[in-house]
Amino acid sequence: MDDKKNLQKNDEIRIIRSSTAFDCGGRCPLRFHVKEGKIVHIEGDDYENKDEQLRTCLRCRAYRQYIYHSKRLKYPLKRDGPKGSGKFKRISWEEALTEIAERLKEVKEKYGNSSIFLATGGAYQGALHDGMFAMMRLLTQFGGYSTHYGNVSSEGAVYATQTQYVSPFVGHSRKDLLNSKLIIMWGWDPARMISGTDTIFNLIKVKEKGIKIICIDPRYTDSAVVLADKWIPIIPGTDTAMMIAMAYVMITENLHDQNFLDKYTIGFDKFKNYVLGKEDGIPKTPQWAEKITSVPVEIIISLAREYANTKPAALMDCQGPARSAVGELYNRCAMTLTAMTGNVGKNGGSAAGGLMGIPYGHMFFASRIPPPYRNPVEVGLKSVRGSLDLQLRFQARCHTNKIFDAILKGKDGGYPFDVKFAWFVNNNFLNQLGNTNKSAEALKKLNYMVVSDLWLTPTARYADIILPVTSAAERNDLLRPWPSGPYFTYMNQAIEPIGECKSDLRIAEELADKLGLEAFEKYPDEPDALKFLIKLREDTRKNIRNINKFREEGIHRLELVEPYVAFKEQIEDIENKPFNTPSGKIEIFSQRIADLNDPENPPIPKYMERWEGRFDALSKKYPLQLLSPHPKSRVHSEMYLVEWLKEIDPHVAWINPINAKPRKIKNGDEILVYNDRGKLTIKAWLTERIIPGVISIFEGAWYEPDENGIDKGGCVNVLTKDAYSPGGASALNSCLVEVRKFNGGM
């Protein structure tokens, strides 16, 4: 019916209901207006209840410019100049795939399968065409491959939740926020980073209902602008100190829920001893924390009292603060506070843990066409199941933030492989992992490299062969939302592929022929393949009874009888439904971590000052802390070239006038931001919205080094470190820099 209404705009316009598959934190219904085979407009969700519409953000509003951008890759390319020069010549698919197949066979024969490296990212998250799944299936059947471990965004939170709950589903459905009496948003900016399509709107409803919201963040974020009753600025990397001082106030004033702790947790006494100073002689008082965090004593005390006395209250700790040197301890500490206040498993409460996901329609349950057997390179390794020992993860892999170090150093550097062939699919890792300049050097030395992408990204510039892939509008697929949901979306192909672009699945299928992999199963009929994938997983199989209707409407919404609350089952019946942990309880103390005997990875959550924090000796040379939060006008580095988006949010560095003035930096000045790893230029934006001592540059701008090695593109990762925490967090927010006015030259 709605389609008919829209058709009136122009009789020739067809409405295709679809969605996109970015790594964005949302999953939004889209209506592509297609005329003569071309998308001419894009509208969002038209669900009859406007309050429940899943409204897309500015990024997919600009999706048309992304699809039809003049710089999109349309043909396979072969390098025609030095690596990194960006010089390529057009070749045919036949030529490209033949060459790749020959190189794969050659490397396999000469060096073995472990020398074939697959680097996978999250830029396309559909069930059928996801290049990660397609390439894993292909390379497994080719005899195996090496790869990496650790999610760039959320690994600190993953490790923390695996430690204390052994479950990634620590969230509540978003409507449960309305049952809260107090919400503490810690390092969480859903206005920009989305965190579920309807999250920001639900938070606005929370605010308008009169529920108090407190935002703790080094920046006064756009979320804080509309939501915060109070903004508490904090020094990056010190969140844990503030939380521990809050615990001190609760313990010394007897505000904590001892009954809850006795019944549902283990190890609180050890944590309490640490907090009170019985372990190390340092009581973690608010005075102690003020010196570390810059948060005034009285604010720490009043927040601790308010959080402990307001029931229920939701402590929402996001993942950014955990992208730091010992990041997992921040999420672990937040979880400990939620247990101390008895807010776990309660409506309107929160179990914290950073991931905020619910087990309905979640992307973790995404269907995929599985490889027929295990990656042969990883057969026979010690099992990682249930272990918190990161070293087990690295028996055959490197950490994601060490991909380029591993390429550079190989086995001599202690890695389990020497890379001779690398395939980068669904990512722009040169740009998006730490220490970009060093990474570029690694890629110059890499023997052979294939990139499949829509764009000639900074990573792709180093490729030997680039394969152009289709956009979401050129594919049919099955999608799942990020943490909130719950719903499924059906991506209907709206247009024919641009140029000679192919989907990652088709590329794998065609390459399988070249490699002579006769058993490699193909899925030529997309609607049929999607039916198969819908039936593959229990939740889609049970809920989507009418696949045709799902396909036509592009979305299937799941109705929850009541809001989902993480661990409600356990809290209501711990005897019969224990937590997944070895003790069956929330493990504030983790024996599994204690057994690792790693001083950097304490069995109870602690505040530990580590490298490139505020008090690092390096801060004498580089006195400013650098943050690299999510941008609003791109999805990480995706959509970077889309002009409509670029003009919305010019690339600037946030700097407080207190730091700008002594450096004679005025608003709009070109500045040089630098440390030992790199230099970039960017315009300064003087704002009172950032805590002094900190500079913030949104991640994802494209690396563009000049002849002096200065990055003119403002890619923040030329400054960040290629390091990870003991729990595997990519520590990109632990970074010290200095800035000065840039007058050209060095």
Partner 1 sequence: MQIGFYFDQTRCIGCSACVIACKDWHDIPAGPEKWIRILYNEKGKFPDVFVSYMINPCYHCINPVCMPVCPVGAITKRIEDGIVIVDSKKCLGNEECNSKCLKACPYNAPQFGSEKGAKMRKCNYCVDRHLKNQLPVCIESCRTRALDAGPLEELKKKYGHITKADNFVYSKTTKPAIVFKPKIK
Binding site for partner 1 (CB under 8 A): 5, 8-9, 40-44, 50-51, 55-58, 61-62, 64-65, 191-192, 200-201, 204, 220, 222-223, 225-226, 231, 233, 632, 643-649, 656, 658, 687-692
Nearer to partner 1, 40 or 618 (CB): 40
Tokens 């605010």 identify what position?
207
For the bound state, the minimum distance from the C-beta of residue 42 to partner 1, rounded and expressed in Å, comes to 6
For the bound state, the minimum distance from the C-beta of residue 60 to partner 1, rounded and expressed in Å, comes to 9
DSSP 629-697: PPPSSSBTTBTTT-HHHHHHS--EEEE-HHHHGGGT--TT-EEEEE-SS-EEEEEEEE-TTB-TTEEEE
For the bound state, the minimum distance from the C-beta of residue 639 to partner 1, rounded and expressed in Å, comes to 11
For the bound state, the minimum distance from the C-beta of residue 223 to partner 1, rounded and expressed in Å, comes to 7
C-alpha to C-alpha distances, 678 to 620, 673, 737, nearest whole angstrom: 17, 8, 10
With contact defined as beta carbons under 8 Å apart, do 312 and 349 qualify?
A: yes
Nearer to partner 1, 205 or 263 (CB): 205
Strands ordered across the beta sheet of 30-35: 14-18, 30-35, 38-43
Nearer to partner 1, 178 or 381 (CB): 178
User: Beta-carbon neighbour count of residue 458 at 10 Å?
Assistant: 29
Across-strand partners of 230? Answer: 214
With contact defined as beta carbons under 8 Å apart, do 119 and 148 qualify?
A: yes
With contact defined as beta carbons under 8 Å apart, do 567 and 351 qualify?
A: yes
Nearer to partner 1, 134 or 701 (CB): 701
For the bound state, the minimum distance from the C-beta of residue 486 to partner 1, rounded and expressed in Å, comes to 19
For the bound state, the minimum distance from the C-beta of residue 121 to partner 1, rounded and expressed in Å, comes to 25
Q: What size, in residues, is the chain? A: 746
Token pair, residue 12, equals 């020739």
Nearer to partner 1, 62 or 127 (CB): 62
CA separation for the pair 684, 653 (Å, rounded): 5
For the bound state, the minimum distance from the C-beta of residue 287 to partner 1, rounded and expressed in Å, comes to 20
With contact defined as beta carbons under 8 Å apart, do 32 and 472 qualify?
A: no
For the bound state, the minimum distance from the C-beta of residue 692 to partner 1, rounded and expressed in Å, comes to 7
With contact defined as beta carbons under 8 Å apart, do 471 and 477 qualify?
A: no
Nearer to partner 1, 233 or 354 (CB): 233
For the bound state, the minimum distance from the C-beta of residue 41 to partner 1, rounded and expressed in Å, comes to 6
Nearer to partner 1, 233 or 312 (CB): 233
Ranges of beta strands (E only) in 177-277 are 182-186, 212-216, 230-232, 265-266
Nearer to partner 1, 220 or 429 (CB): 220
Q: What is the DSSP letter of 467?
A: E
Q: Give 580's contacts (C-beta < 8 A, 6+ positions apart).
A: 165, 166, 167
CA separation for the pair 394, 566 (Å, rounded): 31
Nearer to partner 1, 51 or 707 (CB): 51
